[in-house]
Structure 1
Amino acid sequence: MEAGLTLYSYWRSSAAYRVRIGLNLKGLAYAVTPVHLVRDGGQQHAADYAALNPQELVPTLRHGERVLTQSLAILEYLEEVFPEPALLPADAGGRARVRALAQQVACDIHPLNNLRVMQFFDREWNVPQPERDEWTLHWMRKGFTALEAMVAGSFDTGRYCHGAEPGLADCCLVPQLYNARRFHLDLAPYPTLQRIEAACLALPAFDAARPENQIDAV
């Protein structure tokens, strides 16, 4: 176990959820400092937190005096500093594939249904809730359809997104499926993704990272 790790997290943030999974998979001890994204107008906008993370987003990981932001960058940092057990395959082709799967979630699906996007639609453009929901569902369907094809059609897919051990792509997939259920997306068209999710959630590292198991869950 490694001392000196503090994760600034919100229980329902899928980006923070990714990092919790990665920390757990590596067996790293870490403290959690909750940052409530809605209460008090959004605690991420408070001056002390904005000084820590100028993007005013979660997660933020503090490792000693080092402050890290952006979930994929944090996970890559953990991979380099604490290489075992690995979140990325040993071969270059495998690493590229896993990064592509992870980025499909973190860069293409998630940003279009993030809280600040929904709040902008509501507060600045007065977009009705049903239209905001349909925006979210449209981009989730597009993203998950591509992701299902990528994993279902590859011999590299195993019990998990890549092979027989969970890794970076699984850290991203499971939280996004959690989000999809929140928005009542029909997941029937994505059987491979659901199979992988079930295998992941059977592991203690994933179970402990679930939103409902966090100290700030409400």
Structure 2
Amino acid sequence: MVSPKIIRILAAAALAATAFFSPASHAQGTQQYVPINPPLPSDTPGKVEVLEFFAYTCPHCAAIEPLVEDWVKTAPPDVVLKQIPIAFNAGMKPLQQLYYTLLALDRPDLHAKVFTAIHGEHKRLFDKKAMGDWVASQGVDRAKFDSVFDSFSVQTQVQRASQLADAYRIEGTPSFAVGGKFMTSPVMAGNSYEGALKEVDRLIPMARN
């Protein structure tokens, strides 16, 4: 098994050579965020929502995941992180379903392992059968997985994720929306995963106001 640290190193090398945020971001020059105008409403009233738009196929999302896991442990109590899987084409929809199925089965611990399986172990987890085989190997009941994967609840969450991606005009991953008011990304934060999360921390007080 390839460790998340190695994935992070490999993806960091690619990061400098890859532009994966929207062209509008680059037009901002050295600005490390863009305002969202008009601001978008939160699904969690009374909290500052931080939305991380990600895709399991994205090596940068795989690289930043351990950092996100550490970041959320020290986030302020009025901040809630929501990870939003997005699909740039119809073929990516099963990966959205996989994320919400893992949550529904109370196996969020497998989220990071999906990245490792795809990017570190080169497993082709791109359809329901392959995903089902893999989660079964992780101790998940296969029948429960199959049932939840196609459930109305999961389909509704996938639809909501796609609506959010459209509303925020997401063109690349990972991207972070803060409080419905600001957007940042590693590219905007100086091609730095750590820089992106530091920028999120800086934007949280601004989003409260």
**TM > 0.5:** no
Task: Give the TM-score normalised by structure 1.
Answer: 0.28
Q: Relative contact order (alpha carbons < 8 A, sep ≥ 6): 1 or 2 greater?
A: 2
Task: Give the TM-score normalised by structure 2.
Answer: 0.29
